[in-house]
Amino acid sequence: MPERVRAQSPAVGKIDDFTAKPIADGSKGSYDLKFELSPEGRFTAEAKITVENRSKDKWDQLIFYFLPNAFTKENKPPFFEDAAEVKIRDVKLDGLKMKYQLTGDTLAIPLAEKLAPNENREVTVKYTFTVPKKGLRFDRTESGFHLAQAYPMLATYQGKDGWNKKPYSLRGESYHTSHADFSISYRLPKGYTVISSSDQDKASNNQTGEIKVKNTKEVFIAVVKGMRSISKTVKGVELRVWGKEADKEAMTVALQAAEKSFEQFTEKLGPYPHKQLDILLDETASMEYPGVVTVGHMGSVDPDLSHTVVHEIAHQWFYGVVSNDPYHHAWLDEGITELATTLYFYDVEKKGDASFYFAEQADATNSVSNLPLDAFGKGPITGPVYGQPVKELWELITTYGDAKDGWEFLQEYYQTYAYKQVDTPEFVRFATAYFPVNEQYFAKWLRL
């Protein structure tokens, strides 16, 4: 993708009069989670969630994601070989046992007395579960257990549209929650180590512990055996790469990519909000979580390893801090994250056209980028969700500037919407304030 000639325009980046209008969070949760692992591999769990109604409506029910139930024999995709065993033992509301409905990954709790605006309720869910081999995010490997979305997650409430909860989907991330505070305690058999979203994880085995995470979209916990870590401190943040003894070469490559990209993102986008970042190499899906990224690794050093590490780290800014609904607006975190990744390889690593590998995949797409997950046609969504936004935004950036201006655009976007929720119309409103273009500029690749 060739660099365009810079066209001077005093209007670019002048947004002093712009006022962000983020999507309001009508629901707010805080979580107290407990997990205990038996020697046989079964978890006993308790989740206490304080639910606050921040909307203007009275609620007659509470809606949660309960993703472990999407992996049971009854609900899992047919091509998944292994299934989870999940059992809810009881559900209480303010200490009183309640009836509930569990359908797929949706946990609904009817309220006899409506929850008024600005009021709170405490929900307690006691449950047991096993983790399936070769699941998706929520999975078990030879090294241990990946507890992704392993607790009831309060859905977002969106005013006139009500509870924003869609069925579990394999096409992408079908869950969306608001930033929240977490307290987590655990009890494990000997020999296990906890890797989590917390800043307080230790490298040594610890059978019991309590960790806290503040103002984060979700928490991830890995309970592993036989893994080692190498680390580097960059700008006061400990970067730790985890893998097995046989993964030394890949771990070194991953740490080098993490160290350099993390430093650049911190300088060019804004401070990372935690004191620790874990990169976990394992036979699992590559995925971002606050404070942790998993990188799919099958033993040999993948040629795309550095790109994967950089992309997942960039998500710490665009997903971890700037929030969006990944079911309805997946392009906003994946596309913007891939733009930051592309800028890194183009501007810092000097990879030239190879930096646009994902963007080039957009050439084959005939879809707009901002469809809900269930509205995309069959086949990969890499083009419209990852590649097309990079291609189109890079064209916009280089019409009025260069890579430096691209970083400045992402920095302004990040700082404007940190810890806020963005949707497609709000992004377009921001971009048309930042660049001298109108909405029609985006109409060819976004549904407005």
Instruction: Say which range, 19-23, 101-105, 373-377, has the weakest mean pLDDT.
Output: 373-377
User: pLDDT band at 300, cuts 50/70/90?
Assistant: confident
Is 315 annotated to bind ligand?
A: yes
Catalytic-role residue among 151, 319, 386, 400: 386
Secondary structure letter of residue 416 according to DSSP: H
Relative orientation angle of helices 330-343 and 424-434, to the nearest 10 degrees = 40
Task: Indicate the angle between helix axes 305-314 and 248-268, nearest 10 degrees.
Answer: 40
CATH number of 27-226: 2.60.40.1730
- Residue 299 pLDDT > 80: no
CA distance 162 to 167: 15
Is 439 labelled a binding residue?
A: no
Sequence-distant (6+) residues with CB within 8 A of 173 are 326, 327, 330
Q: What is the mean pLDDT of the chain?
A: 94
Predicted pLDDT at 321: 98
* pLDDT at residue number 3: 46
Is residue 47 within 8 Å of 151, Cβ to Cβ?
A: yes
| Res. 43: pLDDT tops 70 | yes
Instruction: Return the pLDDT at 8.
Output: 47
The structural architecture, per CATH, of the domain 229-314 is 2-Layer Sandwich (3.30)
pTM above 0.85, yes or no: yes
367, pLDDT greater than 50:
yes
Instruction: Give the strand pairing for 27-37 and 180-187.
Output: parallel
pLDDT digits (tens, 9 = 90+) for 144-203: 999 999 999 999 999 889 999 999 999 999 999 999 999 999 999 999 999 999 998 877
Residue 125 above 80 pLDDT?
yes
Task: Mark whether 395 is an active-site residue.
Answer: no
Q: What is the pLDDT of residue 365?
A: 79
Helix pair angle (388-400, 403-417), 10° resolution = 110
Average pLDDT over residues 237-241: 98
The answer, yes or no, to whether residue 88 has pLDDT greater than 80, is yes
Q: Enumerate the domain spans of the chain.
A: 27-226, 229-314, 325-442
| Mean pLDDT of all residues in 377-391 | 92
175 is an active site residue: no
**Mean pLDDT value across residues 241-270:** 97
What is the number of other CB atoms lying within 10 angstroms of the CB of residue 78?
Answer: 5
**pLDDT for 1:** 54
For residue 82, the Cα-to-chain-centroid distance in whole angstroms is 25
What's the pLDDT band for 221 if we cut at 50, 70, 90? very high
User: Which one is catalytic: 52, 173, 288, 312?
Assistant: 312
Per-residue pLDDT, averaged over 401-414, amounts to 97
SS3 110: strand
Task: Count Cβ atoms below 10 Å from residue 371 Cβ, excluding itself.
Answer: 19
pLDDT band, residue 361 (cuts 50/70/90): confident
Instruction: Summarize the confidence of residues 340-357 as an average pLDDT.
Output: 96
Give the confidence band of 4 by pLDDT, cuts at 50, 70, 90: very low
